[in-house]
A = this chain, B = another copy of it.
Amino acid sequence: MDIIKVAGTSRTSAVAGAIAGVFREHRYAEVQAIGAGAVNQAIKALVLATKYLEKDGISIAFIPQFSDIEIDGKVRTAIKLIVEEHVPSGPRKEEPEPSPES
Residues of A within 8 A of B (CB): 8, 26-28, 35-37, 39-40, 43-44, 46-47, 50, 60-66, 79, 81, 84-89, 91-92
Contact = CB atoms under 8 A, between A and B. Distances in A.
A79 B28 contact: no
B47 A61 contact: no
A46 B81 CA distance: 11
B43 A79 contact: yes
Given A39-B36, A44-B79, A47-B64, A91 B86 contact: no
A47 B80 CA distance: 10
In the A-B complex, list the 4 residue pairs whose CB atoms are closest, starting with the nearest.
A61-B61, A36-B40, A87-B87, A85-B89
Contacts of A66: 44, 47
Given A85-B89, A85-B91, A87-B89, A64 B40 contact: no
